[in-house]
Chains A and B, each alone.
Chain A
Amino acid sequence: MTKSVLAEPAVTVAAASAPRRSWIDPLALWSVVRITAARQGRGKRTFIIAGLLALPIALGMIIRNVADPYLPKNIENLLLFVLIFQGLMPLVALLFATGMVQDDIEEQTLTYLLIRPIPRGAIYCGKLVATLFSAWTRVAFFTALAFAVVYFGNKEMGAAALVARGAVILGLEALALAAYVSIFGFMGLWAKRALLIGAIYIVLLENALAYIDFAFRNLTVMFHIRVLSVSWLDIPADYYNIDPATAPSVSTSLIALASITAVITGLGAWIFSVREYRMKTPEGV
Protein backbone atom coordinates (compact mmCIF):
# COMPACT_ATOMS: atom_id res chain seq x y z
CA MET A 1 0.00 0.00 0.00
CA THR A 2 1.20 3.47 -0.76
CA LYS A 3 1.27 6.18 1.86
CA SER A 4 0.75 9.61 0.45
CA VAL A 5 1.70 12.39 2.81
CA LEU A 6 0.86 15.31 0.59
CA ALA A 7 -2.30 16.55 -0.97
CA GLU A 8 -2.55 16.14 -4.74
CA PRO A 9 -1.36 19.23 -6.59
CA ALA A 10 -3.47 21.05 -9.11
CA VAL A 11 -3.63 19.21 -12.42
CA THR A 12 -2.28 21.84 -14.72
CA VAL A 13 0.67 21.73 -17.01
CA ALA A 14 3.00 24.67 -17.08
CA ALA A 15 3.48 26.02 -20.55
CA ALA A 16 7.02 27.10 -21.22
CA SER A 17 8.12 29.57 -23.76
CA ALA A 18 11.34 28.26 -25.20
CA PRO A 19 13.37 30.47 -27.47
CA ARG A 20 12.32 28.94 -30.78
CA ARG A 21 15.14 28.51 -33.25
CA SER A 22 14.54 25.99 -35.94
CA TRP A 23 18.05 26.15 -37.41
CA ILE A 24 20.87 23.99 -36.21
CA ASP A 25 23.71 25.94 -34.66
CA PRO A 26 26.82 25.27 -36.80
CA LEU A 27 29.04 25.70 -33.75
CA ALA A 28 27.12 22.97 -31.93
CA LEU A 29 27.56 20.67 -34.93
CA TRP A 30 31.23 21.60 -35.13
CA SER A 31 31.54 20.60 -31.51
CA VAL A 32 30.07 17.16 -32.25
CA VAL A 33 32.54 16.79 -35.13
CA ARG A 34 35.52 17.83 -33.01
CA ILE A 35 34.64 15.63 -30.06
CA THR A 36 34.14 12.60 -32.31
CA ALA A 37 37.32 13.22 -34.30
CA ALA A 38 39.32 13.76 -31.12
CA ARG A 39 38.09 10.47 -29.70
CA GLN A 40 38.95 8.68 -32.93
CA GLY A 41 42.48 10.06 -32.76
CA ARG A 42 43.06 8.24 -29.47
CA GLY A 43 43.38 4.70 -28.28
CA LYS A 44 44.62 1.39 -29.60
CA ARG A 45 42.55 1.57 -32.76
CA THR A 46 44.62 4.46 -34.11
CA PHE A 47 47.84 2.46 -33.80
CA ILE A 48 46.27 -0.61 -35.40
CA ILE A 49 45.09 1.48 -38.34
CA ALA A 50 48.47 3.17 -38.72
CA GLY A 51 50.15 -0.23 -38.65
CA LEU A 52 47.81 -1.61 -41.30
CA LEU A 53 48.21 1.40 -43.56
CA ALA A 54 51.99 1.27 -43.25
CA LEU A 55 52.02 -2.21 -44.83
CA PRO A 56 51.84 -1.01 -48.48
CA ILE A 57 54.69 1.40 -47.82
CA ALA A 58 56.90 -1.31 -46.35
CA LEU A 59 55.94 -3.67 -49.18
CA GLY A 60 56.68 -0.97 -51.77
CA MET A 61 60.16 -0.42 -50.36
CA ILE A 62 60.91 -4.12 -50.47
CA ILE A 63 59.61 -4.47 -54.04
CA ARG A 64 61.65 -1.48 -55.21
CA ASN A 65 64.79 -3.18 -53.97
CA VAL A 66 64.14 -6.61 -55.42
CA ALA A 67 62.03 -6.06 -58.57
CA ASP A 68 63.93 -6.13 -61.83
CA PRO A 69 62.72 -4.62 -64.04
CA TYR A 70 60.82 -2.22 -61.76
CA LEU A 71 57.45 -1.32 -63.32
CA PRO A 72 55.81 1.48 -61.29
CA LYS A 73 52.33 1.11 -62.84
CA ASN A 74 52.15 -2.56 -61.88
CA ILE A 75 53.36 -1.86 -58.37
CA GLU A 76 50.93 1.05 -58.07
CA ASN A 77 48.13 -1.27 -59.08
CA LEU A 78 49.15 -3.86 -56.50
CA LEU A 79 49.78 -1.51 -53.60
CA LEU A 80 47.22 1.22 -54.15
CA PHE A 81 44.36 -0.28 -56.10
CA VAL A 82 44.43 -3.79 -54.68
CA LEU A 83 45.87 -3.48 -51.19
CA ILE A 84 44.63 -0.03 -50.18
CA PHE A 85 41.47 0.48 -52.25
CA GLN A 86 40.06 -3.02 -51.97
CA GLY A 87 41.34 -4.03 -48.56
CA LEU A 88 42.66 -1.42 -46.20
CA MET A 89 40.45 1.54 -47.11
CA PRO A 90 37.11 -0.22 -46.39
CA LEU A 91 38.69 -1.81 -43.33
CA VAL A 92 39.71 1.58 -41.94
CA ALA A 93 36.19 2.89 -42.60
CA LEU A 94 34.81 -0.17 -40.81
CA LEU A 95 37.04 0.28 -37.77
CA PHE A 96 36.19 3.96 -37.38
CA ALA A 97 32.53 3.99 -38.37
CA THR A 98 31.27 1.05 -36.32
CA GLY A 99 32.65 2.75 -33.20
CA MET A 100 31.47 6.28 -33.86
CA VAL A 101 28.30 5.88 -31.79
CA GLN A 102 29.23 2.69 -29.96
CA ASP A 103 32.24 4.32 -28.29
CA ASP A 104 30.01 6.99 -26.78
CA ILE A 105 27.57 4.35 -25.58
CA GLU A 106 30.28 2.21 -24.01
CA GLU A 107 31.95 5.18 -22.36
CA GLN A 108 28.54 6.59 -21.37
CA THR A 109 29.30 10.00 -22.82
CA LEU A 110 26.44 10.01 -25.32
CA THR A 111 24.25 11.67 -22.69
CA TYR A 112 26.23 14.90 -23.02
CA LEU A 113 25.19 15.10 -26.68
CA LEU A 114 21.61 13.86 -26.37
CA ILE A 115 20.60 16.38 -23.69
CA ARG A 116 21.56 19.34 -25.86
CA PRO A 117 19.30 21.30 -28.19
CA ILE A 118 20.50 19.56 -31.33
CA PRO A 119 18.27 17.20 -33.32
CA ARG A 120 19.55 13.65 -33.01
CA GLY A 121 19.79 13.26 -36.75
CA ALA A 122 22.17 16.21 -36.85
CA ILE A 123 24.30 14.64 -34.10
CA TYR A 124 24.55 11.50 -36.21
CA CYS A 125 25.53 13.45 -39.32
CA GLY A 126 28.14 15.38 -37.35
CA LYS A 127 29.61 12.12 -36.16
CA LEU A 128 29.63 10.81 -39.70
CA VAL A 129 31.48 13.87 -40.99
CA ALA A 130 34.07 13.47 -38.22
CA THR A 131 34.48 9.80 -39.06
CA LEU A 132 34.93 10.56 -42.74
CA PHE A 133 37.56 13.13 -41.80
CA SER A 134 39.37 10.69 -39.49
CA ALA A 135 39.33 7.88 -42.03
CA TRP A 136 40.24 9.99 -45.05
CA THR A 137 43.13 11.88 -43.43
CA ARG A 138 44.78 8.63 -42.39
CA VAL A 139 44.15 6.76 -45.61
CA ALA A 140 45.19 9.78 -47.70
CA PHE A 141 48.39 10.30 -45.72
CA PHE A 142 49.55 6.71 -46.08
CA THR A 143 48.39 6.53 -49.70
CA ALA A 144 50.47 9.60 -50.49
CA LEU A 145 53.48 7.97 -48.87
CA ALA A 146 52.90 4.72 -50.77
CA PHE A 147 52.45 6.70 -53.98
CA ALA A 148 55.74 8.48 -53.32
CA VAL A 149 57.49 5.16 -52.68
CA VAL A 150 56.14 3.77 -55.96
CA TYR A 151 57.05 6.76 -58.15
CA PHE A 152 60.14 8.12 -56.38
CA GLY A 153 62.84 8.77 -59.00
CA ASN A 154 60.49 7.84 -61.85
CA LYS A 155 61.27 9.69 -65.07
CA GLU A 156 58.34 8.48 -67.20
CA MET A 157 55.78 10.84 -65.68
CA GLY A 158 56.41 14.50 -65.05
CA ALA A 159 55.92 16.06 -61.62
CA ALA A 160 52.68 17.78 -62.68
CA ALA A 161 51.21 14.53 -64.00
CA LEU A 162 52.17 12.72 -60.81
CA VAL A 163 50.57 15.40 -58.63
CA ALA A 164 47.39 15.30 -60.73
CA ARG A 165 47.27 11.51 -60.56
CA GLY A 166 47.83 11.56 -56.81
CA ALA A 167 45.07 14.13 -56.36
CA VAL A 168 42.60 12.01 -58.32
CA ILE A 169 43.49 8.96 -56.22
CA LEU A 170 42.90 10.89 -53.01
CA GLY A 171 39.63 12.22 -54.41
CA LEU A 172 38.48 8.72 -55.24
CA GLU A 173 39.33 7.65 -51.71
CA ALA A 174 37.19 10.47 -50.32
CA LEU A 175 34.24 9.35 -52.46
CA ALA A 176 34.66 5.72 -51.48
CA LEU A 177 35.16 6.48 -47.81
CA ALA A 178 32.04 8.69 -47.68
CA ALA A 179 30.00 5.72 -48.87
CA TYR A 180 31.79 3.18 -46.67
CA VAL A 181 31.55 5.32 -43.55
CA SER A 182 27.80 5.75 -44.08
CA ILE A 183 27.36 1.99 -44.63
CA PHE A 184 29.45 0.90 -41.66
CA GLY A 185 28.08 3.66 -39.41
CA PHE A 186 24.60 2.39 -40.21
CA MET A 187 25.75 -1.18 -39.55
CA GLY A 188 27.19 -0.15 -36.17
CA LEU A 189 23.75 1.07 -35.08
CA TRP A 190 21.95 -2.23 -35.35
CA ALA A 191 24.46 -5.07 -35.68
CA LYS A 192 25.80 -6.63 -32.50
CA ARG A 193 28.88 -7.97 -34.27
CA ALA A 194 29.27 -5.09 -36.64
CA LEU A 195 33.01 -5.61 -37.14
CA LEU A 196 32.55 -9.22 -38.18
CA ILE A 197 29.55 -8.51 -40.38
CA GLY A 198 31.40 -5.57 -41.92
CA ALA A 199 34.47 -7.67 -42.65
CA ILE A 200 32.29 -10.30 -44.34
CA TYR A 201 30.56 -7.54 -46.30
CA ILE A 202 33.93 -6.20 -47.51
CA VAL A 203 35.14 -9.61 -48.66
CA LEU A 204 31.94 -10.92 -50.21
CA LEU A 205 30.21 -7.87 -51.63
CA GLU A 206 32.85 -5.21 -52.11
CA ASN A 207 35.49 -7.57 -53.46
CA ALA A 208 34.04 -10.81 -54.85
CA LEU A 209 30.65 -9.55 -56.01
CA ALA A 210 32.00 -6.25 -57.37
CA TYR A 211 34.25 -8.29 -59.66
CA ILE A 212 31.53 -10.52 -61.13
CA ASP A 213 29.90 -9.12 -64.23
CA PHE A 214 26.34 -9.15 -62.96
CA ALA A 215 23.80 -6.37 -62.43
CA PHE A 216 24.02 -6.63 -58.63
CA ARG A 217 27.51 -5.21 -58.65
CA ASN A 218 26.00 -1.84 -59.50
CA LEU A 219 24.97 -1.71 -55.86
CA THR A 220 28.53 -1.98 -54.57
CA VAL A 221 30.73 1.00 -53.82
CA MET A 222 33.83 -0.69 -55.17
CA PHE A 223 32.37 -1.26 -58.63
CA HIS A 224 31.68 2.45 -59.14
CA ILE A 225 35.09 3.41 -57.76
CA ARG A 226 36.61 1.02 -60.28
CA VAL A 227 34.56 2.54 -63.09
CA LEU A 228 35.86 5.98 -62.10
CA SER A 229 39.43 4.63 -61.78
CA VAL A 230 39.25 3.23 -65.29
CA SER A 231 37.99 6.56 -66.65
CA TRP A 232 40.15 8.96 -64.68
CA LEU A 233 43.36 7.01 -64.08
CA ASP A 234 43.62 4.99 -67.29
CA ILE A 235 43.59 1.71 -65.48
CA PRO A 236 42.86 -1.14 -67.92
CA ALA A 237 39.19 -2.09 -67.60
CA ASP A 238 39.94 -5.81 -67.79
CA TYR A 239 41.83 -5.53 -64.46
CA TYR A 240 38.40 -5.24 -62.90
CA ASN A 241 36.46 -7.41 -65.31
CA ILE A 242 34.65 -4.30 -66.61
CA ASP A 243 33.38 -4.06 -70.16
CA PRO A 244 33.70 -0.38 -71.19
CA ALA A 245 30.81 -0.84 -73.63
CA THR A 246 28.34 -1.76 -70.90
CA ALA A 247 29.92 0.01 -67.92
CA PRO A 248 28.07 2.96 -66.39
CA SER A 249 29.22 6.44 -67.32
CA VAL A 250 31.27 8.58 -64.96
CA SER A 251 28.24 10.70 -64.04
CA THR A 252 26.13 7.59 -63.38
CA SER A 253 28.78 6.20 -61.06
CA LEU A 254 29.11 9.54 -59.27
CA ILE A 255 25.34 9.72 -58.82
CA ALA A 256 25.27 6.09 -57.63
CA LEU A 257 27.96 6.77 -55.02
CA ALA A 258 26.24 9.96 -53.86
CA SER A 259 22.91 8.14 -53.67
CA ILE A 260 24.29 5.21 -51.69
CA THR A 261 25.90 7.67 -49.27
CA ALA A 262 22.80 9.85 -48.91
CA VAL A 263 20.27 7.03 -48.55
CA ILE A 264 22.29 5.04 -46.02
CA THR A 265 23.15 8.21 -44.08
CA GLY A 266 19.46 9.12 -43.97
CA LEU A 267 18.56 5.66 -42.71
CA GLY A 268 21.29 5.82 -40.08
CA ALA A 269 20.18 9.27 -38.92
CA TRP A 270 16.61 8.05 -38.65
CA ILE A 271 17.55 4.96 -36.62
CA PHE A 272 19.77 7.07 -34.37
CA SER A 273 16.87 9.48 -33.82
CA VAL A 274 14.25 6.93 -32.83
CA ARG A 275 16.43 4.60 -30.81
CA GLU A 276 16.71 4.80 -27.04
CA TYR A 277 20.16 4.90 -25.51
CA ARG A 278 19.74 3.84 -21.95
CA MET A 279 22.67 4.79 -19.79
CA LYS A 280 23.22 2.05 -17.26
CA THR A 281 23.75 3.42 -13.81
CA PRO A 282 25.45 1.67 -10.91
CA GLU A 283 22.07 0.91 -9.44
CA GLY A 284 20.96 -0.78 -12.61
CA VAL A 285 17.53 0.80 -13.10
Chain B
Amino acid sequence: MSEPVITFEGASKWYGNVIGLNNLSLQIGPGVTGLLGPNGSGKSTLLQLATGQLRPSQGGVRVLGYRPWSNPELNRLIGLCPEQDAFFEWMSGREFLTHCGWLANLGRAGAKGAVERVLEVTRMTEHANRAIRGYSKGMRQRIKLAQAMIHEPRMLFLDEPFTGTDPIARRELIDVILDYGRTGKTVLLASHVFHEIQAVTRDIVLLNRGRLVAQGDVRQIRDLIDTHPHRIVLRSRAVRALAASLAVYDDVVGIEFKETGTIVVETNRPDQFYGRLVGLALDGAGIDEVYSDDDNIEAVFKYLVVA
Protein backbone atom coordinates (compact mmCIF):
# COMPACT_ATOMS: atom_id res chain seq x y z
CA MET B 1 0.00 0.00 0.00
CA SER B 2 1.25 3.47 -0.73
CA GLU B 3 1.36 6.19 1.92
CA PRO B 4 -1.75 5.94 4.11
CA VAL B 5 -4.14 8.86 4.06
CA ILE B 6 -6.37 7.66 6.89
CA THR B 7 -4.86 6.37 10.10
CA PHE B 8 -6.62 5.06 13.18
CA GLU B 9 -4.26 4.37 16.07
CA GLY B 10 -5.89 2.41 18.86
CA ALA B 11 -9.03 4.47 18.36
CA SER B 12 -12.08 3.68 20.45
CA LYS B 13 -15.45 5.34 20.63
CA TRP B 14 -17.96 4.70 23.38
CA TYR B 15 -21.50 5.94 23.62
CA GLY B 16 -22.05 5.53 27.32
CA ASN B 17 -21.83 1.78 27.83
CA VAL B 18 -22.14 0.99 24.15
CA ILE B 19 -18.94 0.48 22.18
CA GLY B 20 -18.97 2.01 18.72
CA LEU B 21 -15.35 1.31 17.86
CA ASN B 22 -13.03 -0.82 19.93
CA ASN B 23 -9.29 -0.12 19.90
CA LEU B 24 -9.14 0.16 16.13
CA SER B 25 -5.76 0.43 14.43
CA LEU B 26 -6.06 0.81 10.72
CA GLN B 27 -4.36 2.48 7.79
CA ILE B 28 -6.02 3.20 4.49
CA GLY B 29 -4.16 4.32 1.40
CA PRO B 30 -5.25 6.37 -1.59
CA GLY B 31 -7.73 5.00 -4.12
CA VAL B 32 -11.09 3.40 -3.53
CA THR B 33 -11.48 1.32 -0.38
CA GLY B 34 -14.56 -0.54 0.74
CA LEU B 35 -15.58 -0.61 4.36
CA LEU B 36 -17.71 -3.67 4.91
CA GLY B 37 -19.54 -4.77 7.99
CA PRO B 38 -22.96 -5.83 9.19
CA ASN B 39 -25.36 -3.45 10.89
CA GLY B 40 -23.91 -2.15 14.13
CA SER B 41 -20.33 -3.02 13.17
CA GLY B 42 -19.09 0.56 13.61
CA LYS B 43 -18.86 1.69 9.98
CA SER B 44 -20.79 4.90 10.52
CA THR B 45 -18.91 5.60 13.74
CA LEU B 46 -15.65 5.19 11.84
CA LEU B 47 -16.83 7.61 9.15
CA GLN B 48 -18.07 10.13 11.70
CA LEU B 49 -14.69 9.98 13.45
CA ALA B 50 -12.81 10.35 10.18
CA THR B 51 -14.94 13.32 9.11
CA GLY B 52 -14.55 15.08 12.44
CA GLN B 53 -18.12 14.82 13.62
CA LEU B 54 -17.11 12.73 16.60
CA ARG B 55 -14.07 12.75 18.86
CA PRO B 56 -12.36 9.46 19.68
CA SER B 57 -12.85 8.42 23.30
CA GLN B 58 -9.36 6.94 23.19
CA GLY B 59 -6.54 6.74 20.66
CA GLY B 60 -5.98 8.92 17.62
CA VAL B 61 -7.34 9.51 14.15
CA ARG B 62 -5.54 11.25 11.30
CA VAL B 63 -6.92 12.09 7.90
CA LEU B 64 -4.57 13.61 5.33
CA GLY B 65 -2.30 14.37 8.24
CA TYR B 66 -4.94 16.34 10.14
CA ARG B 67 -6.77 15.57 13.34
CA PRO B 68 -10.31 15.53 11.98
CA TRP B 69 -12.36 16.56 15.04
CA SER B 70 -14.08 19.85 14.25
CA ASN B 71 -11.38 20.87 11.79
CA PRO B 72 -12.52 23.37 9.12
CA GLU B 73 -9.15 23.10 7.34
CA LEU B 74 -9.65 19.39 6.77
CA ASN B 75 -13.27 19.94 5.78
CA ARG B 76 -12.02 21.78 2.69
CA LEU B 77 -10.40 18.53 1.57
CA ILE B 78 -13.05 15.95 2.33
CA GLY B 79 -16.62 15.28 1.29
CA LEU B 80 -19.18 13.15 3.09
CA CYS B 81 -22.27 11.45 1.77
CA PRO B 82 -23.99 10.60 5.06
CA GLU B 83 -26.19 7.58 5.56
CA GLN B 84 -29.18 9.38 6.99
CA ASP B 85 -31.89 10.20 4.46
CA ALA B 86 -32.12 13.80 5.66
CA PHE B 87 -32.33 17.00 3.65
CA PHE B 88 -33.62 20.53 3.81
CA GLU B 89 -36.75 19.14 2.25
CA TRP B 90 -38.27 22.43 1.14
CA MET B 91 -35.34 23.25 -1.13
CA SER B 92 -35.01 22.19 -4.73
CA GLY B 93 -32.03 20.03 -5.59
CA ARG B 94 -30.34 23.04 -7.18
CA GLU B 95 -30.92 25.28 -4.14
CA PHE B 96 -29.59 22.58 -1.83
CA LEU B 97 -26.43 22.14 -3.87
CA THR B 98 -25.99 25.91 -4.21
CA HIS B 99 -26.06 26.26 -0.43
CA CYS B 100 -23.61 23.37 -0.12
CA GLY B 101 -21.33 25.19 -2.57
CA TRP B 102 -21.58 28.41 -0.60
CA LEU B 103 -20.93 26.53 2.64
CA ALA B 104 -17.87 24.99 1.02
CA ASN B 105 -16.45 28.48 0.40
CA LEU B 106 -16.79 28.24 -3.38
CA GLY B 107 -18.22 31.73 -3.74
CA ARG B 108 -21.24 32.60 -5.88
CA ALA B 109 -19.70 32.05 -9.30
CA GLY B 110 -17.73 29.00 -8.20
CA ALA B 111 -20.78 27.41 -6.61
CA LYS B 112 -22.89 28.02 -9.70
CA GLY B 113 -20.43 26.21 -11.94
CA ALA B 114 -19.91 23.42 -9.41
CA VAL B 115 -23.66 22.85 -9.06
CA GLU B 116 -24.08 22.36 -12.81
CA ARG B 117 -21.07 20.06 -12.87
CA VAL B 118 -22.25 17.73 -10.09
CA LEU B 119 -25.82 17.76 -11.39
CA GLU B 120 -24.47 16.57 -14.72
CA VAL B 121 -22.21 13.96 -13.14
CA THR B 122 -25.04 12.52 -11.04
CA ARG B 123 -27.56 12.88 -13.90
CA MET B 124 -29.84 15.10 -11.87
CA THR B 125 -29.91 18.15 -14.15
CA GLU B 126 -33.45 17.61 -15.35
CA HIS B 127 -34.77 17.16 -11.80
CA ALA B 128 -32.72 19.96 -10.26
CA ASN B 129 -35.52 22.48 -9.92
CA ARG B 130 -37.95 20.12 -8.18
CA ALA B 131 -38.35 20.16 -4.41
CA ILE B 132 -36.29 17.45 -2.71
CA ARG B 133 -39.35 16.30 -0.76
CA GLY B 134 -40.75 14.96 -4.04
CA TYR B 135 -37.63 13.02 -5.03
CA SER B 136 -37.50 9.25 -5.27
CA LYS B 137 -35.04 7.41 -3.07
CA GLY B 138 -32.63 7.08 -5.97
CA MET B 139 -32.72 10.82 -6.67
CA ARG B 140 -32.14 11.59 -3.01
CA GLN B 141 -29.06 9.37 -3.01
CA ARG B 142 -27.78 11.07 -6.15
CA ILE B 143 -28.23 14.56 -4.75
CA LYS B 144 -26.59 13.47 -1.51
CA LEU B 145 -23.62 12.20 -3.48
CA ALA B 146 -23.58 15.43 -5.51
CA GLN B 147 -23.31 17.59 -2.37
CA ALA B 148 -20.37 15.50 -1.20
CA MET B 149 -18.52 16.13 -4.46
CA ILE B 150 -19.43 19.76 -4.95
CA HIS B 151 -16.08 21.16 -3.82
CA GLU B 152 -14.08 18.42 -5.57
CA PRO B 153 -12.67 17.06 -2.33
CA ARG B 154 -9.48 15.03 -2.28
CA MET B 155 -11.22 12.42 -0.20
CA LEU B 156 -14.78 11.20 -0.38
CA PHE B 157 -16.52 9.32 2.45
CA LEU B 158 -19.66 7.47 1.36
CA ASP B 159 -21.94 5.86 3.93
CA GLU B 160 -24.28 3.30 2.36
CA PRO B 161 -24.76 5.39 -0.80
CA PHE B 162 -26.77 2.74 -2.63
CA THR B 163 -29.40 2.07 0.02
CA GLY B 164 -32.87 1.90 -1.46
CA THR B 165 -31.82 2.56 -5.02
CA ASP B 166 -33.10 0.64 -8.03
CA PRO B 167 -30.62 -1.39 -10.10
CA ILE B 168 -30.18 1.28 -12.77
CA ALA B 169 -29.54 4.07 -10.27
CA ARG B 170 -27.17 1.76 -8.43
CA ARG B 171 -25.20 1.07 -11.59
CA GLU B 172 -25.03 4.78 -12.39
CA LEU B 173 -23.92 5.70 -8.87
CA ILE B 174 -21.25 3.00 -9.03
CA ASP B 175 -20.00 4.54 -12.28
CA VAL B 176 -19.86 7.99 -10.68
CA ILE B 177 -17.81 6.63 -7.78
CA LEU B 178 -15.51 4.70 -10.08
CA ASP B 179 -14.94 7.81 -12.22
CA TYR B 180 -14.15 9.79 -9.10
CA GLY B 181 -11.67 7.16 -7.96
CA ARG B 182 -10.00 7.18 -11.40
CA THR B 183 -9.11 10.84 -10.95
CA GLY B 184 -6.64 9.75 -8.28
CA LYS B 185 -8.75 10.81 -5.34
CA THR B 186 -9.47 8.72 -2.29
CA VAL B 187 -12.87 7.16 -1.72
CA LEU B 188 -13.94 5.26 1.38
CA LEU B 189 -17.20 3.47 0.70
CA ALA B 190 -19.06 1.95 3.65
CA SER B 191 -21.68 -0.68 3.01
CA HIS B 192 -23.09 -3.81 4.55
CA VAL B 193 -23.56 -5.33 1.10
CA PHE B 194 -20.49 -7.15 -0.09
CA HIS B 195 -21.40 -7.00 -3.77
CA GLU B 196 -21.85 -3.26 -3.73
CA ILE B 197 -18.32 -2.88 -2.50
CA GLN B 198 -16.99 -5.50 -4.83
CA ALA B 199 -18.42 -3.51 -7.73
CA VAL B 200 -16.21 -0.52 -6.96
CA THR B 201 -13.00 -1.80 -5.40
CA ARG B 202 -10.79 -4.73 -4.58
CA ASP B 203 -9.41 -3.12 -1.42
CA ILE B 204 -11.60 -3.93 1.47
CA VAL B 205 -11.74 -3.40 5.21
CA LEU B 206 -14.00 -5.60 7.30
CA LEU B 207 -15.42 -4.45 10.60
CA ASN B 208 -17.51 -6.31 13.09
CA ARG B 209 -18.67 -5.16 16.52
CA GLY B 210 -16.36 -2.18 16.37
CA ARG B 211 -13.25 -4.20 15.64
CA LEU B 212 -11.14 -4.71 12.55
CA VAL B 213 -11.81 -8.22 11.32
CA ALA B 214 -9.73 -8.21 8.17
CA GLN B 215 -8.21 -5.93 5.60
CA GLY B 216 -7.15 -6.93 2.15
CA ASP B 217 -8.07 -8.03 -1.32
CA VAL B 218 -11.69 -8.57 -2.14
CA ARG B 219 -11.11 -11.99 -3.70
CA GLN B 220 -10.02 -13.50 -0.43
CA ILE B 221 -13.10 -12.19 1.32
CA ARG B 222 -15.31 -13.22 -1.56
CA ASP B 223 -14.23 -16.84 -1.33
CA LEU B 224 -15.48 -16.87 2.21
CA ILE B 225 -18.75 -15.15 1.39
CA ASP B 226 -19.60 -17.27 -1.62
CA THR B 227 -19.71 -20.39 0.51
CA HIS B 228 -22.83 -18.98 2.14
CA PRO B 229 -26.21 -18.62 0.43
CA HIS B 230 -26.97 -15.00 -0.37
CA ARG B 231 -30.38 -13.48 0.37
CA ILE B 232 -31.46 -10.47 -1.64
CA VAL B 233 -34.60 -8.48 -0.95
CA LEU B 234 -36.44 -7.03 -3.95
CA ARG B 235 -39.36 -4.60 -3.91
CA SER B 236 -41.37 -4.43 -7.07
CA ARG B 237 -44.68 -3.16 -8.42
CA ALA B 238 -45.08 -6.48 -10.28
CA VAL B 239 -43.70 -8.86 -7.74
CA ARG B 240 -45.29 -12.06 -9.09
CA ALA B 241 -44.06 -11.47 -12.63
CA LEU B 242 -40.62 -10.65 -11.26
CA ALA B 243 -40.56 -13.85 -9.18
CA ALA B 244 -41.57 -15.88 -12.23
CA SER B 245 -38.82 -14.33 -14.35
CA LEU B 246 -36.21 -15.03 -11.66
CA ALA B 247 -37.27 -18.59 -10.96
CA VAL B 248 -35.95 -19.82 -14.31
CA TYR B 249 -32.33 -19.19 -13.37
CA ASP B 250 -30.25 -22.04 -11.94
CA ASP B 251 -28.52 -19.91 -9.34
CA VAL B 252 -31.84 -18.90 -7.76
CA VAL B 253 -32.41 -21.54 -5.12
CA GLY B 254 -35.39 -20.04 -3.35
CA ILE B 255 -37.95 -17.26 -3.55
CA GLU B 256 -39.91 -16.19 -0.52
CA PHE B 257 -42.88 -13.81 -0.70
CA LYS B 258 -42.83 -11.27 2.12
CA GLU B 259 -45.12 -8.30 2.71
CA THR B 260 -46.91 -6.78 -0.29
CA GLY B 261 -44.55 -6.10 -3.16
CA THR B 262 -41.51 -7.72 -1.55
CA ILE B 263 -39.69 -10.99 -2.24
CA VAL B 264 -36.54 -12.45 -0.77
CA VAL B 265 -34.47 -14.35 -3.31
CA GLU B 266 -31.81 -16.87 -2.31
CA THR B 267 -28.98 -17.28 -4.75
CA ASN B 268 -25.70 -19.12 -4.67
CA ARG B 269 -24.19 -16.90 -7.39
CA PRO B 270 -24.77 -13.34 -6.22
CA ASP B 271 -22.47 -11.85 -8.87
CA GLN B 272 -24.53 -13.25 -11.69
CA PHE B 273 -27.74 -12.35 -9.93
CA TYR B 274 -26.81 -8.69 -9.40
CA GLY B 275 -25.50 -8.44 -12.95
CA ARG B 276 -28.81 -9.67 -14.28
CA LEU B 277 -30.91 -7.17 -12.33
CA VAL B 278 -30.04 -4.16 -14.49
CA GLY B 279 -31.25 -6.02 -17.59
CA LEU B 280 -34.46 -7.06 -15.83
CA ALA B 281 -35.09 -3.49 -14.70
CA LEU B 282 -34.57 -2.18 -18.22
CA ASP B 283 -37.01 -4.84 -19.51
CA GLY B 284 -39.68 -3.31 -17.30
CA ALA B 285 -39.59 -5.66 -14.32
CA GLY B 286 -40.63 -2.71 -12.14
CA ILE B 287 -37.91 -3.18 -9.54
CA ASP B 288 -38.13 -0.29 -7.09
CA GLU B 289 -35.58 -1.30 -4.50
CA VAL B 290 -32.88 -3.90 -3.97
CA TYR B 291 -31.00 -4.62 -0.81
CA SER B 292 -29.07 -7.44 0.70
CA ASP B 293 -30.51 -9.34 3.59
CA ASP B 294 -27.98 -9.12 6.37
CA ASP B 295 -28.08 -12.73 7.49
CA ASN B 296 -25.59 -14.11 5.00
CA ILE B 297 -22.88 -11.54 5.61
CA GLU B 298 -23.44 -11.85 9.35
CA ALA B 299 -22.66 -15.54 8.98
CA VAL B 300 -19.37 -14.76 7.27
CA PHE B 301 -18.41 -12.33 9.98
CA LYS B 302 -19.19 -14.87 12.64
CA TYR B 303 -17.01 -17.32 10.79
CA LEU B 304 -14.16 -14.83 10.54
CA VAL B 305 -14.36 -13.69 14.12
CA VAL B 306 -14.95 -16.99 15.83
CA ALA B 307 -12.36 -19.00 13.87
- Chain A interfacial positions (CB closer than 8 Å to B): 1-6, 8-16, 18-21, 25, 27-28, 30-32, 34-35, 38-39, 42, 107-109, 111-120, 273-274, 276-285
Contacts and interface: CB of A to CB of B under 8 A. Distances in A.
B259 interface: no
A108 B144 CA distance: 13
18 contacts: A1-B305, A5-B215, A9-B1, A10-B4, A14-B5, A14-B30, A28-B104, A38-B91, A116-B104, A117-B72, A118-B75, A120-B70, A274-B70, A279-B53, A279-B83, A279-B84, A281-B83, A283-B41
B149 interface: no
Nearest to B219: A5
A118 B15 contact: no
Given A35-B99, A111-B82, A284-B39, A118 B212 contact: no
B3 A14 contact: yes
A281 B84 contact: yes
B3 A12 contact: yes
B29 A9 contact: yes
A140 to B, nearest CB: 24
Interface in B25-56: 27, 29-30, 39-45, 48, 51-55
Interface stretch (B59-67, B119-127, B234-242): B59-67
Interface in B274-307: 304-307
Contacts of A6: 1, 214-217
Name the 8 nearest CB pairs between A and B, nearest first: A6-B216, A5-B216, A16-B64, A108-B86, A9-B1, A283-B39, A116-B103, A31-B102
Contacts, number: 178
B20 interface: yes
B221 interface: yes
B87 A278 contact: no
A21 B78 CA distance: 16
A31 B40 contact: no
B214 A28 contact: no
B46 to A, nearest CB: 10
A279 B107 CA distance: 28
Contacts of A21: 105
A11 B41 CA distance: 25
A90 to B, nearest CB: 28
A281 B221 contact: no
A2 B212 contact: yes
B161 interface: no
A88 B75 CA distance: 41
Nearest to A114: B53
B305 A18 contact: no
Given A14-B65, A111-B80, A4 B215 contact: yes
A285 B88 contact: no
| Most chain B CB inside 10 Å of its own CB: which residue of A3, A35, A38 | A3
B42 A285 contact: yes
A284 B40 contact: yes
Given A34-B99, A118-B103, A279-B53, 6 more contacts: A9-B4, A31-B99, A108-B86, A113-B103, A279-B84, A281-B159
B144 to A, nearest CB: 9
Contact of A115 (B41, B51, B213, B214): B51
B76 interface: yes
A117 B104 contact: yes
Contacts of B307: 1, 3
Contacts of A1: 305-307
A112 B80 CA distance: 9
A285 B80 CA distance: 17
A28 B80 CA distance: 18
Contacts of A284: 39-40
Given A30-B102, A276-B53, A5 B221 contact: yes
Contact of A4 (B18, B76, B78, B214): B214
B73 to A, nearest CB: 5
